[in-house]
Amino acid sequence: MSVGMTKEPQQQGAYLEVHGLTKQFGPVVAVSNLGFSAPPGSVTGFLGPNGAGKTTTLRMMLGLIKPTTGGATVGGVPYAQIAEPARAVGAVLDSLSLHPKRSAIGHLKIYAAAIGVPDSRAYEVLALVGLNDVADRKAGGFSLGMRQRLALATALLGDPPILILDEPANGLDPEGIHWLRDFLKAYARRGGTVLISSHILSEVEQLVDNVVIISRGSLVYQGTLDSLRTSVKSRILVTSSDPTKLTAALAEKGVGDATILPDGRLAVLGTTKEDISEVASTAGVQVFGMAAEQADLEQVFLSMTSGQFAAQAVPPPGQGYGPPQQGYGQPPGYGPPPGYGQPQPGYGPPPGYGPPPGYGQPQPGYGQPQPGYGQPQPGYGPPPQEYGPPLQEYGPPPGYGPPPGYGQTPDQQQGGN
Ligand SMILES: Nc1ncnc2c1ncn2[C@@H]1O[C@H](COP(=O)(O)OP(=O)(O)OP(=O)(O)O)[C@@H](O)[C@H]1O
Ligand SMILES: [Mg+2]
C-alpha cells in the first residue's frame, strides 16, 4: 500500500551505497575509507565485532553525523537531500526513545502525525510487528524485545522501500528472531532493501543474502553469503599407518591436497573418502579411520575480523607452540574466502589505502595451531577503545521531526533513553 509519494519498493529499486566513508573521532578512526552497497530485493548483513564501526557508519548514512570524508547515498541521493526521509528509509539505530507513560499506539500516532500519514497506518504497523494485543499498554513496561518491535513499527510508518536496522535481533527471544527473519525476508522479496547490522554472523546467517564484513572500520569482505559458505571447504582427517607414504601416494595420483597434522593425522582437501581409501590400499597404507570436518562459518568470520587483535595473542611460529607445524600452515580452503583480499568490484580500496592489519596474513585459528582449534580465538575479546565516550543520545528516529503542534517530543523533553 502506497502512502503519499512513496513508491512500492519494486518500483523504487533503491540501492544503499557507501563510498570512501571515513569518520575520525579525535584520535579514533572509527570508519576508514569504507565502501559497499546493499542492493534492493535482498537482505544485506553488515557485520563486524564490537567497536568495528557499524553504528558509526549507519549514523553517517542517515545524516546523523557528518563523515570526515566520503559519503553515502540512498537510492542515489544523499540522505540529507531526501525530501521525505521517513518515506524513503525506515531506520532503527537504537532501541527507540519511548515516553514511558505513552501507549504503543499513542506513540505510533504521534510519529504518524509527524510524517503526515493517517492514524490507520499506526494500527497497520502495530499489527505488522505483532504488537496489536498490547496496543494500549504503556511503553514504559515493555520488554527490550517489545521495544525493538515498536521501534521497527515506527520505522515502517512511512512504508519506506529501504530499512536500516542496527542490531535489531538484540533482546529478541528465539520466537522474535524467527519472526524478524520471516518479516525481513518477505520485505526483501517485495523488492525492499534491507541493511541489518550484527556482531554475530550466526545470528543473521539464516536471514541475509549478502554480507559486508568490517573490522576496525575497514571493509574485509563483501559478497554473497553463498560465496562465503562455499569458500569454507570441508577437509577429511585420515588416521593411517603411514601418513608420509599416504601423502606421497595421494600427490602422485593427484588426489586431493594433503598435509600432515601435528597429531599425525592427514588433513585432505578436495577429494572423497572413497578416493583416499583407494589410493591408500594401492599404496599399501592401512587406514584406521576417516572423519569429515566442516569449518564453521562463524570461525571464518572471527578469523577475518579478529586478526588485528588476536594476532598479538598468537605467538610467532617457533615460539610458544613448539616447532613450526606442518599441516596447519594455511591449509588450502581454510584461508580467506574468495573476495577477501580481492578488490571488490567497484568498491576496492582506492590507492593509498591498504588492507587492514592482519589482512592477508595467516588467520588466527587457521594459520597457526591454537589450543582448542575451533574454539573462540585466544585473545579475542573486546578490542581496545571499545567503549569510548558515550554516544550521543538518540532523539526521534531519522526522518521524524517534532510532531505538528509539539515544540519538542516528550521524549526529548525527558532526555530520551
Ligand atoms: N561519538 C563518539 N565519540 C568518540 N568515539 C566514538 C563515538 N562513536 C563511536 N566511537 C568509537 O568509534 C568506534 C566504532 O564504534 P561503533 O559504535 O561504530 O562500533 P559498532 O561496530 O557499532 O560496535 P557495537 O557492535 O559494539 O555496537 C569505537 O572505537 C567507538 O568507541
Ligand atoms: Mg553498534
Q: Which residue minimizes the CA distance to atom 8 of ligand 1?
A: 391
pLDDT at 96: 61
For residue 122, what are the contacts with CB-CB under 8 A and spacing of at least 6? 105, 108, 109, 111, 112, 157
Q: Which residue minimizes the CA distance to atom 9 of ligand 1?
A: 56
For residue 38, what are the contacts with CB-CB under 8 A and spacing of at least 6? 15, 16, 17, 44, 46, 193, 194, 195, 210, 212
The CA distance from 109 to 257, in Å, is 63
Q: What is the mean pLDDT of the chain?
A: 75
Q: Which residue minimizes the CA distance to atom 14 of ligand 1?
A: 53
Q: What angle do CA 365, 366, 367 make, to 5 degrees?
A: 105
Does the beta carbon of 52 sit less than 6 angstroms from any atom of ligand 1?
yes
- Tell me which ligand sits closest to the C-alpha of residue 61: 1
SS3 readout for 281-339: HHHCCCEEEEEEEECCHHHHHHHHHCHHHHHHHCCCCCCCCCCCCCCCCCCCCCCCCCC
pLDDT at 309: 41
Does the beta carbon of 90 sit less than 6 angstroms from any atom of ligand 1?
no
Residue 75 has pLDDT above 70, yes or no: yes
Nine cell digits for residue 293: 570436518
Residue 403 has pLDDT above 80, yes or no: no
Q: Which helix (H) or strand (E) holds 346?
A: none
Task: Give percent of the chain with pLDDT exceeding 70.
Answer: 68
What are the pLDDT digits (tens) for 35-74?
A: 999 999 999 999 999 999 999 999 999 999 999 999 999 9
Does the beta carbon of 25 sit less than 6 angstroms from any atom of ligand 1?
yes
Q: Which residue minimizes the CA distance to atom 13 of ligand 1?
A: 30
User: Cα of 56 to ligand 1 centre, how many Å?
Assistant: 6
User: Cα of 56 to ligand 2 centre, how many Å?
Assistant: 7
Does the beta carbon of 51 sit less than 6 angstroms from any atom of ligand 1?
yes
Does the beta carbon of 30 sit less than 6 angstroms from any atom of ligand 1?
yes
What are the pLDDT digits (tens) for 25-36?
A: 999 999 999 999
- Tell me which ligand sits closest to the C-alpha of residue 46: 1
Q: Which residue minimizes the CA distance to atom 1 of ligand 1?
A: 391
What are the pLDDT digits (tens) for 144-182?
A: 889 989 999 999 999 999 999 999 988 888 888 898 999
Q: Which of 56, 170, 308, 391 to mutate to test the pocket of ligand 1 (most atoms within 8 A of CB)?
A: 56
SS3 readout for 203-269: HHCCCCCEEEEEECCEEEEEEEHHHHHHHCCEEEEEEECCHHHHHHHHHHHCCCEEEECCCCCEEEE
Nine cell digits for residue 380: 579475542
Does the beta carbon of 200 sit less than 6 angstroms from any atom of ligand 1?
no
Q: Which of 31, 32, 55 to mutate to test the pocket of ligand 1 (most atoms within 8 A of CB)?
A: 55
List strand residue ranges (DSSP E) for 93-172, in order: 162-165
Q: Which of 122-136, 258-272, 286-300 has the weakest average pLDDT?
A: 286-300
User: Cα of 347 to ligand 1 centre, how many Å?
Assistant: 23
pLDDT at 38: 96
- Tell me which ligand sits closest to the C-alpha of residue 215: 1
Residue 385 has pLDDT above 70, yes or no: no
Nearest to residue 184, comparing CAs of 173, 171, 193?
A: 193
**What pTM value is reported for the model?**
0.67
In the block, cell 521524524 appears at: 400
Does the beta carbon of 53 sit less than 6 angstroms from any atom of ligand 1?
yes
User: 243-253 vs 273-283: helix axis angle to the nearest 10?
Assistant: 110
Q: Relative to the CA of 53, which ligand 1 atom is closest?
A: 18
Does the beta carbon of 316 sit less than 6 angstroms from any atom of ligand 1?
no
